[in-house]
Amino acid sequence: MCLLIVGIAFPRLVLALLFFFTNFLARAYHGLLLPLLGFFLLPLTTLVYAFIVNMGASIQGLYMVAIVICALVDLGLIGQTARSRS
């Protein structure tokens, strides 16, 4: 549960730790380009996609909904910052 909260709050940190200390991302992505682009552009989506693939599930149903929600969060379309509220 704690790792989940850290992953949502700091997805780039979790991606970097997973990349350097495990083969979690290598099992989901067969190369370096997509995780690297995901690190800079869509870190939460990259992390959730890797989690789904490592579980052995296919990207459909609720898993697709999770990917879309994470992409929207990464793009800033869901959630507000303190600046936008004032």
Q: Which residue has the higher pLDDT, 84 or 27?
A: 27
C-beta neighbour count of 35 within 10 angstroms: 20
Reported pTM: 0.83
Q: What is the pLDDT of residue 82?
A: 52
Report, as an integer, the average pLDDT of 10-35. 92
* Cα angle: 31, vertex 34, 35; to 5 degrees: 90
Domain that holds residue 76: 2-85
Q: Please count the structural domains in the chain.
A: 1
Q: pLDDT tens-digit profile of 23-75?
A: 999 999 998 899 999 999 999 999 999 999 999 988 899 999 999 999 998 88
